[in-house]
Amino acid sequence: MCTAVGFASKGYNVIASTHDAEKAAKINQGIPPFHEPNLQNLLEKTVQNGYLKCLIDQTEKAVLETDLTFNAVGTPSRPDGSIDLQFIETSSRDMGKALHKKSTYHVVVIKSTVVPGTTQDLVKPILEKESKKKCGPDFGLCMSPEFLRQGSAFEDTMHTDRIVIGEYDKKSGDTLENLYKDFYAKNAPPTIRTTLSTAELIKYASNSLLATKISFINTIANICEKIPGADVKTVATAMGLDKRIGPLFLNAGLGYGGSCFPKDVKALMAYSKNLGYPLKLLDAVEDVNKTQPLKAIQFCKEQLGNLEGKRIAILGLAFKADTDDMREARVIPIINQLLEEGANVTAYDPVAIPVAKTVFQNKIQYATSAIDCLKNADCAILITEWEEFKKLTPEDFTMRMKQPVLIDGRRIYDPKIFSRKMKFVAIGLGQ
Ligand code: UDX
Protein backbone atom coordinates (compact mmCIF):
# COMPACT_ATOMS: atom_id res chain seq x y z
CA MET A 1 0.00 0.00 0.00
CA CYS A 2 2.74 2.46 0.97
CA THR A 3 4.82 1.57 -2.09
CA ALA A 4 1.78 2.04 -4.33
CA VAL A 5 0.91 5.41 -2.79
CA GLY A 6 4.59 6.45 -2.81
CA PHE A 7 4.97 5.83 -6.54
CA ALA A 8 1.55 7.32 -7.36
CA SER A 9 2.39 10.44 -5.33
CA LYS A 10 5.36 11.03 -7.63
CA GLY A 11 3.28 10.76 -10.78
CA TYR A 12 3.74 7.11 -11.72
CA ASN A 13 0.65 5.28 -12.89
CA VAL A 14 0.03 2.58 -10.33
CA ILE A 15 -2.42 -0.27 -10.72
CA ALA A 16 -2.88 -2.48 -7.68
CA SER A 17 -4.61 -5.82 -7.66
CA THR A 18 -5.96 -7.69 -4.66
CA HIS A 19 -8.47 -10.49 -4.17
CA ASP A 20 -9.93 -8.62 -1.19
CA ALA A 21 -12.93 -6.73 -2.60
CA GLU A 22 -13.55 -4.81 0.63
CA LYS A 23 -9.95 -3.59 0.69
CA ALA A 24 -10.08 -2.57 -2.96
CA ALA A 25 -13.32 -0.61 -2.41
CA LYS A 26 -11.77 1.30 0.48
CA ILE A 27 -8.60 2.08 -1.45
CA ASN A 28 -10.60 3.34 -4.44
CA GLN A 29 -12.45 5.70 -2.10
CA GLY A 30 -9.11 6.97 -0.80
CA ILE A 31 -9.48 5.26 2.59
CA PRO A 32 -6.47 3.27 3.85
CA PRO A 33 -7.56 -0.27 4.80
CA PHE A 34 -5.49 -0.07 8.02
CA HIS A 35 -4.27 2.63 10.39
CA GLU A 36 -1.00 4.16 9.16
CA PRO A 37 -0.02 7.78 9.81
CA ASN A 38 0.50 10.08 6.81
CA LEU A 39 -1.11 7.70 4.34
CA GLN A 40 -4.68 9.00 4.18
CA ASN A 41 -4.06 12.38 2.51
CA LEU A 42 -1.82 11.12 -0.25
CA LEU A 43 -3.94 8.05 -0.89
CA GLU A 44 -6.97 10.27 -1.29
CA LYS A 45 -5.10 12.66 -3.59
CA THR A 46 -3.51 10.00 -5.80
CA VAL A 47 -6.81 8.14 -6.21
CA GLN A 48 -8.62 11.39 -7.06
CA ASN A 49 -5.92 12.37 -9.56
CA GLY A 50 -6.18 8.96 -11.21
CA TYR A 51 -2.58 7.88 -10.49
CA LEU A 52 -3.66 4.96 -8.33
CA LYS A 53 -6.46 2.48 -8.74
CA CYS A 54 -7.07 -0.87 -7.17
CA LEU A 55 -8.53 -3.81 -9.09
CA ILE A 56 -10.11 -6.95 -7.70
CA ASP A 57 -8.32 -10.09 -8.83
CA GLN A 58 -7.15 -8.63 -12.11
CA THR A 59 -3.45 -9.35 -12.05
CA GLU A 60 -3.54 -9.82 -15.81
CA LYS A 61 -4.83 -6.32 -16.49
CA ALA A 62 -2.35 -4.86 -13.98
CA VAL A 63 0.59 -6.61 -15.62
CA LEU A 64 -0.50 -5.87 -19.19
CA GLU A 65 -0.90 -2.16 -18.51
CA THR A 66 2.35 -1.58 -16.60
CA ASP A 67 6.13 -2.07 -17.01
CA LEU A 68 7.00 -3.57 -13.66
CA THR A 69 5.16 -5.48 -10.92
CA PHE A 70 5.94 -5.44 -7.21
CA ASN A 71 4.65 -8.67 -5.73
CA ALA A 72 3.83 -7.99 -2.07
CA VAL A 73 1.57 -10.87 -1.07
CA GLY A 74 1.64 -12.28 2.45
CA THR A 75 3.96 -15.11 3.50
CA PRO A 76 2.41 -16.33 6.77
CA SER A 77 3.90 -18.88 9.17
CA ARG A 78 3.00 -22.54 9.06
CA PRO A 79 2.52 -24.31 12.43
CA ASP A 80 6.19 -25.45 12.37
CA GLY A 81 7.42 -21.86 11.86
CA SER A 82 8.37 -22.29 8.21
CA ILE A 83 6.76 -19.91 5.73
CA ASP A 84 3.67 -20.71 3.76
CA LEU A 85 4.34 -19.86 0.11
CA GLN A 86 0.85 -20.55 -1.26
CA PHE A 87 0.10 -16.88 -2.01
CA ILE A 88 3.47 -16.48 -3.76
CA GLU A 89 2.65 -19.53 -5.87
CA THR A 90 -0.81 -18.23 -6.81
CA SER A 91 0.37 -14.73 -7.64
CA SER A 92 3.33 -16.09 -9.63
CA ARG A 93 0.91 -18.22 -11.66
CA ASP A 94 -1.31 -15.19 -12.31
CA MET A 95 1.67 -13.03 -13.31
CA GLY A 96 3.04 -15.81 -15.54
CA LYS A 97 -0.28 -16.11 -17.37
CA ALA A 98 -0.31 -12.36 -17.90
CA LEU A 99 3.30 -12.39 -19.16
CA HIS A 100 2.24 -14.97 -21.74
CA LYS A 101 -0.06 -12.36 -23.30
CA LYS A 102 2.44 -9.53 -23.05
CA SER A 103 4.57 -8.49 -26.00
CA THR A 104 6.80 -5.95 -24.23
CA TYR A 105 9.50 -6.45 -21.58
CA HIS A 106 8.18 -6.59 -17.99
CA VAL A 107 10.03 -7.00 -14.70
CA VAL A 108 8.59 -8.97 -11.79
CA VAL A 109 9.92 -7.83 -8.40
CA ILE A 110 9.34 -10.00 -5.34
CA LYS A 111 8.93 -7.73 -2.32
CA SER A 112 7.34 -10.29 0.00
CA THR A 113 9.65 -11.72 2.65
CA VAL A 114 10.69 -15.15 1.35
CA VAL A 115 13.44 -17.56 2.37
CA PRO A 116 16.58 -17.85 0.22
CA GLY A 117 15.97 -19.78 -2.97
CA THR A 118 12.26 -18.95 -3.28
CA THR A 119 12.54 -16.46 -6.15
CA GLN A 120 15.00 -18.60 -8.12
CA ASP A 121 13.55 -22.04 -7.43
CA LEU A 122 9.83 -21.40 -7.06
CA VAL A 123 8.84 -18.07 -8.65
CA LYS A 124 11.02 -18.29 -11.77
CA PRO A 125 9.91 -21.81 -12.83
CA ILE A 126 6.23 -20.89 -12.32
CA LEU A 127 6.62 -17.66 -14.32
CA GLU A 128 8.41 -19.53 -17.12
CA LYS A 129 5.90 -22.39 -17.20
CA GLU A 130 2.83 -20.15 -17.27
CA SER A 131 4.25 -17.55 -19.66
CA LYS A 132 5.97 -20.10 -21.90
CA LYS A 133 8.81 -17.57 -21.99
CA LYS A 134 12.38 -17.46 -20.72
CA CYS A 135 13.39 -15.46 -17.68
CA GLY A 136 16.15 -13.07 -18.75
CA PRO A 137 15.63 -12.52 -22.47
CA ASP A 138 11.81 -12.37 -22.32
CA PHE A 139 11.07 -10.88 -18.91
CA GLY A 140 13.00 -9.67 -15.89
CA LEU A 141 13.04 -10.92 -12.29
CA CYS A 142 14.30 -9.23 -9.10
CA MET A 143 13.96 -9.68 -5.36
CA SER A 144 13.86 -6.39 -3.46
CA PRO A 145 12.95 -6.62 0.22
CA GLU A 146 11.46 -3.67 2.07
CA PHE A 147 12.35 -2.58 5.57
CA LEU A 148 9.24 -0.61 6.53
CA ARG A 149 8.11 -0.26 10.10
CA GLN A 150 4.39 -0.10 10.78
CA GLY A 151 3.48 3.27 12.16
CA SER A 152 6.11 4.97 10.02
CA ALA A 153 5.75 2.81 6.91
CA PHE A 154 4.99 5.67 4.55
CA GLU A 155 7.92 7.76 5.79
CA ASP A 156 10.15 4.69 5.52
CA THR A 157 9.02 4.19 1.91
CA MET A 158 9.90 7.73 0.97
CA HIS A 159 13.21 7.81 2.90
CA THR A 160 14.79 4.39 3.18
CA ASP A 161 18.29 3.74 4.60
CA ARG A 162 19.20 1.42 1.74
CA ILE A 163 17.88 -0.30 -1.34
CA VAL A 164 18.56 -3.97 -1.88
CA ILE A 165 18.23 -5.38 -5.38
CA GLY A 166 18.63 -9.10 -5.89
CA GLU A 167 18.73 -9.65 -9.65
CA TYR A 168 18.28 -12.61 -11.95
CA ASP A 169 20.33 -10.83 -14.60
CA LYS A 170 21.86 -7.41 -15.22
CA LYS A 171 18.99 -6.11 -17.34
CA SER A 172 16.43 -6.87 -14.59
CA GLY A 173 18.65 -5.16 -11.98
CA ASP A 174 19.32 -2.12 -14.20
CA THR A 175 15.60 -1.65 -14.85
CA LEU A 176 14.75 -1.73 -11.14
CA GLU A 177 17.70 0.43 -10.12
CA ASN A 178 16.74 3.05 -12.71
CA LEU A 179 13.20 3.10 -11.34
CA TYR A 180 14.46 3.61 -7.77
CA LYS A 181 16.94 6.28 -8.96
CA ASP A 182 14.12 8.14 -10.66
CA PHE A 183 11.89 7.75 -7.60
CA TYR A 184 14.42 8.91 -5.00
CA ALA A 185 16.19 11.39 -7.35
CA LYS A 186 18.81 13.33 -5.32
CA ASN A 187 17.98 11.46 -2.14
CA ALA A 188 18.83 8.05 -3.54
CA PRO A 189 20.07 5.86 -0.66
CA PRO A 190 23.00 3.41 -0.95
CA THR A 191 22.02 0.55 -3.25
CA ILE A 192 23.23 -3.02 -2.89
CA ARG A 193 22.96 -5.14 -6.02
CA THR A 194 23.34 -8.83 -5.44
CA THR A 195 21.96 -12.31 -6.13
CA LEU A 196 18.31 -13.18 -5.55
CA SER A 197 19.13 -15.43 -2.57
CA THR A 198 21.43 -12.91 -0.89
CA ALA A 199 18.68 -10.28 -1.11
CA GLU A 200 16.25 -12.74 0.45
CA LEU A 201 18.66 -13.47 3.30
CA ILE A 202 19.38 -9.75 3.94
CA LYS A 203 15.79 -9.23 5.06
CA TYR A 204 15.86 -12.17 7.49
CA ALA A 205 19.31 -11.27 8.80
CA SER A 206 18.23 -7.66 9.43
CA ASN A 207 15.02 -8.53 11.25
CA SER A 208 16.67 -11.30 13.25
CA LEU A 209 19.44 -8.99 14.44
CA LEU A 210 16.91 -6.34 15.50
CA ALA A 211 14.91 -9.00 17.37
CA THR A 212 18.16 -10.17 18.97
CA LYS A 213 18.94 -6.63 20.14
CA ILE A 214 15.51 -6.44 21.79
CA SER A 215 15.78 -9.81 23.52
CA PHE A 216 19.31 -8.93 24.60
CA ILE A 217 18.30 -5.67 26.24
CA ASN A 218 15.30 -7.41 27.83
CA THR A 219 17.74 -9.88 29.35
CA ILE A 220 19.80 -7.01 30.73
CA ALA A 221 16.54 -5.49 32.03
CA ASN A 222 15.81 -8.70 33.89
CA ILE A 223 19.25 -8.55 35.53
CA CYS A 224 18.73 -4.88 36.45
CA GLU A 225 15.56 -5.76 38.34
CA LYS A 226 17.65 -7.88 40.70
CA ILE A 227 20.17 -5.08 41.38
CA PRO A 228 18.96 -2.31 43.75
CA GLY A 229 19.33 1.07 42.03
CA ALA A 230 20.09 -0.33 38.57
CA ASP A 231 18.16 0.99 35.57
CA VAL A 232 18.19 -0.62 32.12
CA LYS A 233 17.39 2.74 30.50
CA THR A 234 20.68 4.20 31.67
CA VAL A 235 22.52 1.03 30.67
CA ALA A 236 20.97 1.20 27.16
CA THR A 237 21.70 4.91 26.76
CA ALA A 238 25.34 4.41 27.66
CA MET A 239 25.66 1.32 25.47
CA GLY A 240 24.03 3.12 22.56
CA LEU A 241 26.62 5.89 22.62
CA ASP A 242 29.16 3.34 21.43
CA LYS A 243 29.04 3.74 17.64
CA ARG A 244 29.60 0.03 17.22
CA ILE A 245 26.37 -0.69 19.13
CA GLY A 246 24.12 2.26 18.27
CA PRO A 247 21.16 3.55 20.30
CA LEU A 248 18.23 2.05 18.38
CA PHE A 249 16.27 -1.08 19.27
CA LEU A 250 17.60 -1.07 22.80
CA ASN A 251 14.30 -0.17 24.44
CA ALA A 252 13.58 -2.82 27.03
CA GLY A 253 9.93 -3.79 27.38
CA LEU A 254 7.46 -6.64 27.28
CA GLY A 255 8.97 -8.13 24.12
CA TYR A 256 8.57 -7.72 20.38
CA GLY A 257 5.39 -8.46 18.44
CA GLY A 258 4.00 -7.56 15.04
CA SER A 259 3.73 -9.21 11.68
CA CYS A 260 7.46 -9.47 11.01
CA PHE A 261 9.91 -10.18 13.84
CA PRO A 262 8.14 -13.24 15.32
CA LYS A 263 7.39 -14.69 11.88
CA ASP A 264 10.78 -13.94 10.35
CA VAL A 265 12.80 -15.25 13.29
CA LYS A 266 10.80 -18.49 13.19
CA ALA A 267 11.12 -18.77 9.40
CA LEU A 268 14.90 -18.31 9.46
CA MET A 269 15.17 -20.90 12.23
CA ALA A 270 13.04 -23.42 10.29
CA TYR A 271 14.93 -22.73 7.07
CA SER A 272 18.34 -23.10 8.68
CA LYS A 273 17.34 -26.22 10.62
CA ASN A 274 16.33 -27.71 7.31
CA LEU A 275 19.83 -26.98 6.02
CA GLY A 276 21.23 -28.95 8.97
CA TYR A 277 22.27 -25.86 10.95
CA PRO A 278 19.85 -25.18 13.84
CA LEU A 279 20.14 -21.56 15.01
CA LYS A 280 20.71 -21.81 18.78
CA LEU A 281 21.13 -18.04 19.08
CA LEU A 282 17.67 -17.34 17.67
CA ASP A 283 16.23 -20.11 19.84
CA ALA A 284 17.29 -18.05 22.84
CA VAL A 285 16.00 -14.81 21.29
CA GLU A 286 12.57 -16.40 20.84
CA ASP A 287 12.61 -17.95 24.27
CA VAL A 288 13.28 -14.60 25.96
CA ASN A 289 10.49 -13.04 23.90
CA LYS A 290 8.04 -15.73 24.96
CA THR A 291 8.61 -15.26 28.69
CA GLN A 292 9.08 -11.46 28.67
CA PRO A 293 5.36 -10.50 28.53
CA LEU A 294 4.70 -12.69 31.55
CA LYS A 295 6.85 -10.29 33.58
CA ALA A 296 3.73 -8.12 33.67
CA ILE A 297 1.82 -10.94 35.41
CA GLN A 298 4.69 -11.57 37.83
CA PHE A 299 4.80 -7.86 38.78
CA CYS A 300 1.03 -7.80 39.12
CA LYS A 301 1.03 -10.77 41.50
CA GLU A 302 3.91 -9.35 43.53
CA GLN A 303 1.83 -6.23 44.10
CA LEU A 304 -1.69 -7.67 44.45
CA GLY A 305 -1.20 -11.30 45.47
CA ASN A 306 -4.04 -13.45 44.15
CA LEU A 307 -5.51 -11.90 40.98
CA GLU A 308 -8.95 -13.52 41.32
CA GLY A 309 -11.59 -10.80 40.99
CA LYS A 310 -9.00 -7.98 40.75
CA ARG A 311 -9.65 -5.20 38.21
CA ILE A 312 -6.74 -4.75 35.85
CA ALA A 313 -6.51 -1.76 33.49
CA ILE A 314 -4.63 -2.43 30.27
CA LEU A 315 -3.25 0.63 28.50
CA GLY A 316 -2.47 -0.29 24.89
CA LEU A 317 -3.49 -3.23 22.72
CA ALA A 318 -1.60 -2.67 19.45
CA PHE A 319 1.80 -4.39 19.11
CA LYS A 320 3.38 -0.93 18.97
CA ALA A 321 2.22 2.69 18.85
CA ASP A 322 0.72 4.28 15.72
CA THR A 323 -0.85 1.12 14.38
CA ASP A 324 -4.03 -0.87 14.96
CA ASP A 325 -2.22 -4.13 14.23
CA MET A 326 -2.41 -6.75 16.97
CA ARG A 327 -0.63 -9.59 15.23
CA GLU A 328 1.60 -11.30 17.83
CA ALA A 329 0.95 -8.34 20.15
CA ARG A 330 2.47 -9.02 23.55
CA VAL A 331 -0.77 -7.96 25.16
CA ILE A 332 -2.41 -11.21 23.97
CA PRO A 333 -0.52 -13.62 26.27
CA ILE A 334 -0.77 -11.05 29.07
CA ILE A 335 -4.56 -10.70 28.90
CA ASN A 336 -5.03 -14.45 28.41
CA GLN A 337 -3.02 -15.13 31.56
CA LEU A 338 -4.86 -12.45 33.55
CA LEU A 339 -8.17 -14.04 32.55
CA GLU A 340 -6.82 -17.46 33.44
CA GLU A 341 -6.01 -16.14 36.92
CA GLY A 342 -9.58 -14.84 37.31
CA ALA A 343 -8.87 -11.10 36.90
CA ASN A 344 -11.38 -8.64 35.39
CA VAL A 345 -9.70 -6.88 32.50
CA THR A 346 -10.59 -3.47 31.08
CA ALA A 347 -8.54 -2.28 28.13
CA TYR A 348 -8.08 0.87 26.13
CA ASP A 349 -6.18 1.66 22.94
CA PRO A 350 -6.50 4.80 20.80
CA VAL A 351 -7.10 2.82 17.58
CA ALA A 352 -6.89 -0.95 18.10
CA ILE A 353 -10.16 -1.62 19.97
CA PRO A 354 -12.09 -2.81 16.88
CA VAL A 355 -9.26 -5.29 16.17
CA ALA A 356 -9.10 -6.29 19.86
CA LYS A 357 -12.80 -7.12 19.80
CA THR A 358 -12.11 -9.77 17.19
CA VAL A 359 -9.38 -11.22 19.44
CA PHE A 360 -10.99 -11.11 22.90
CA GLN A 361 -14.70 -10.67 22.02
CA ASN A 362 -16.58 -10.03 25.28
CA LYS A 363 -14.04 -11.69 27.54
CA ILE A 364 -12.77 -8.24 28.53
CA GLN A 365 -14.27 -4.77 28.83
CA TYR A 366 -13.32 -1.95 26.48
CA ALA A 367 -12.90 1.57 27.83
CA THR A 368 -13.60 4.75 25.90
CA SER A 369 -10.45 6.57 27.10
CA ALA A 370 -7.34 5.96 29.17
CA ILE A 371 -8.94 7.80 32.09
CA ASP A 372 -12.10 5.70 31.79
CA CYS A 373 -9.95 2.57 31.74
CA LEU A 374 -8.32 3.42 35.07
CA LYS A 375 -11.58 3.79 37.02
CA ASN A 376 -11.64 1.52 40.10
CA ALA A 377 -8.69 -0.52 38.85
CA ASP A 378 -6.46 -2.39 41.31
CA CYS A 379 -3.52 -2.23 38.92
CA ALA A 380 -2.72 -0.58 35.57
CA ILE A 381 -0.33 -2.13 33.06
CA LEU A 382 1.16 0.10 30.37
CA ILE A 383 1.68 -2.09 27.33
CA THR A 384 1.91 0.14 24.24
CA GLU A 385 3.93 3.35 24.13
CA TRP A 386 1.25 5.63 22.62
CA GLU A 387 1.95 9.40 22.93
CA GLU A 388 -1.45 9.77 24.60
CA PHE A 389 -0.34 7.53 27.48
CA LYS A 390 2.94 9.41 27.91
CA LYS A 391 0.91 12.49 28.87
CA LEU A 392 -0.81 10.79 31.83
CA THR A 393 0.20 12.24 35.20
CA PRO A 394 0.46 10.38 38.53
CA GLU A 395 -2.79 12.12 39.56
CA ASP A 396 -4.60 10.62 36.55
CA PHE A 397 -3.87 7.25 38.12
CA THR A 398 -4.20 8.04 41.84
CA MET A 399 -7.51 9.89 41.51
CA ARG A 400 -9.29 7.10 39.65
CA MET A 401 -7.83 3.77 40.66
CA LYS A 402 -8.99 1.73 43.62
CA GLN A 403 -5.36 1.26 44.59
CA PRO A 404 -2.75 3.07 42.54
CA VAL A 405 -0.38 0.41 41.27
CA LEU A 406 1.28 1.07 37.90
CA ILE A 407 3.37 -1.38 35.92
CA ASP A 408 5.32 0.38 33.19
CA GLY A 409 5.93 -2.29 30.56
CA ARG A 410 7.57 0.09 28.07
CA ARG A 411 9.48 2.47 30.31
CA ILE A 412 7.63 5.64 29.31
CA TYR A 413 7.19 7.11 32.79
CA ASP A 414 9.79 8.80 34.97
CA PRO A 415 10.31 6.54 38.00
CA LYS A 416 11.42 9.50 40.15
CA ILE A 417 8.08 11.25 39.67
CA PHE A 418 5.75 8.26 39.64
CA SER A 419 7.25 6.21 42.47
CA ARG A 420 6.72 9.15 44.86
CA LYS A 421 2.99 9.10 44.25
CA MET A 422 2.09 5.43 43.85
CA LYS A 423 3.33 1.84 43.77
CA PHE A 424 5.38 2.00 40.60
CA VAL A 425 7.06 -1.02 39.05
CA ALA A 426 8.86 -0.97 35.71
CA ILE A 427 10.71 -3.31 33.38
CA GLY A 428 14.43 -3.15 34.04
CA LEU A 429 14.23 -1.03 37.18
CA GLY A 430 16.03 -2.38 40.26
CA GLN A 431 13.88 -1.73 43.34
C1 UDX B 1 9.90 -4.45 11.72
C2 UDX B 1 11.22 -3.91 11.17
O3 UDX B 1 11.66 -2.82 11.99
C4 UDX B 1 11.08 -3.47 9.72
O5 UDX B 1 12.33 -3.08 9.20
C6 UDX B 1 10.53 -4.66 8.91
O7 UDX B 1 10.31 -4.26 7.57
C8 UDX B 1 9.23 -5.16 9.51
O9 UDX B 1 9.43 -5.50 10.89
P10 UDX B 1 7.64 -3.42 12.65
O11 UDX B 1 7.30 -4.81 13.01
O12 UDX B 1 6.63 -2.59 11.95
O13 UDX B 1 8.95 -3.38 11.74
O14 UDX B 1 7.98 -2.61 14.00
P15 UDX B 1 9.28 -2.32 14.88
O16 UDX B 1 9.35 -0.87 15.14
O17 UDX B 1 10.49 -2.93 14.33
O18 UDX B 1 8.90 -3.03 16.26
C19 UDX B 1 8.67 -4.43 16.34
C20 UDX B 1 8.43 -4.82 17.78
O21 UDX B 1 9.60 -4.66 18.55
C22 UDX B 1 7.33 -4.01 18.49
O23 UDX B 1 6.55 -4.87 19.27
C24 UDX B 1 8.12 -3.05 19.38
O25 UDX B 1 7.41 -2.67 20.54
C26 UDX B 1 9.33 -3.91 19.72
N27 UDX B 1 10.51 -3.11 20.07
C28 UDX B 1 11.10 -2.33 19.12
C29 UDX B 1 11.03 -3.19 21.34
O30 UDX B 1 10.51 -3.90 22.21
N31 UDX B 1 12.16 -2.44 21.63
C32 UDX B 1 12.78 -1.66 20.71
O33 UDX B 1 13.79 -1.04 21.05
C34 UDX B 1 12.23 -1.60 19.42
**How much distance in Å is there from the Cα of 242 to the middle of ligand 1?**
21
DSSP 187: G
Task: Assess whether the region 2-204 and the region 293-426 belong to the same CATH fold.
Answer: yes
Which residues are catalytically annotated? 260
pLDDT at residue 275, as a whole number? 96
Tell which CATH architecture fits domain 2-204. 3-Layer(aba) Sandwich (3.40)
Q: Is 90 exceeded by the pLDDT of residue 431?
A: no
Where residue 57 falls among pLDDT bands split at 50, 70, 90?
very high
pLDDT at residue 292, as a whole number? 98
What is 293-426's CATH topology?
Answer: Rossmann fold (3.40.50)
pLDDT at residue 190, as a whole number? 97
pLDDT per residue as tens digits for the range 105-149: 999 999 999 999 999 999 999 999 999 999 999 999 999 999 999
Closest-CA residue, ligand 1 atom 22, reads 256
pLDDT at residue 129, as a whole number? 98
Over residues 54-82, the mean pLDDT reads: 96
Over residues 311-319, the mean pLDDT reads: 98
**Dihedral in degrees, nearest 10, Cα atoms 168, 174, 177, 179:** -110
Over residues 168-187, the mean pLDDT reads: 97
Q: Give the ligand 1 atom nearest the CA of 254.
A: 30
Q: Is 90 exceeded by the pLDDT of residue 35?
A: no
3 state SS of 299: helix
Is residue 413 within 6 Å of ligand 1 at its C-beta? no
Is residue 202 within 6 Å of ligand 1 at its C-beta? no
User: Which of 34-38, 111-115, 341-345 is the least confident region?
Assistant: 34-38
pLDDT per residue as tens digits for the range 264-287: 999 999 999 999 999 999 999 999
Q: Residue ranges of the domains in the chain?
A: 2-204, 293-426
Q: Give the ligand 1 atom nearest the CA of 385.
A: 25
Is residue 258 within 6 Å of ligand 1 at its C-beta? yes
**How much distance in Å is there from the Cα of 339 to the middle of ligand 1?**
27
Is residue 145 within 6 Å of ligand 1 at its C-beta? no
Q: Is 90 exceeded by the pLDDT of residue 97?
A: yes
Is residue 87 within 6 Å of ligand 1 at its C-beta? no
Q: Is residue 138 within 8 Å of residue 172, measured between CB atoms? A: no
pLDDT per residue as tens digits for the range 14-31: 999 999 999 999 999 999
pLDDT per residue as tens digits for the range 370-406: 999 999 999 999 999 999 999 999 999 999 999 999 9
What are the CB-based long-range contacts (under 8 Å, 24+) for 171-178? 171/136, 171/140, 172/107, 172/136, 172/140, 172/141, 172/142, 173/142, 175/68, 175/105, 175/107, 175/140, 176/68, 176/107, 176/109, 176/140, 176/142, 176/144
The residues with which 69 forms a beta bridge, in sequence order, are 108
**How much distance in Å is there from the Cα of 6 to the middle of ligand 1?**
21
Is residue 292 within 6 Å of ligand 1 at its C-beta? no
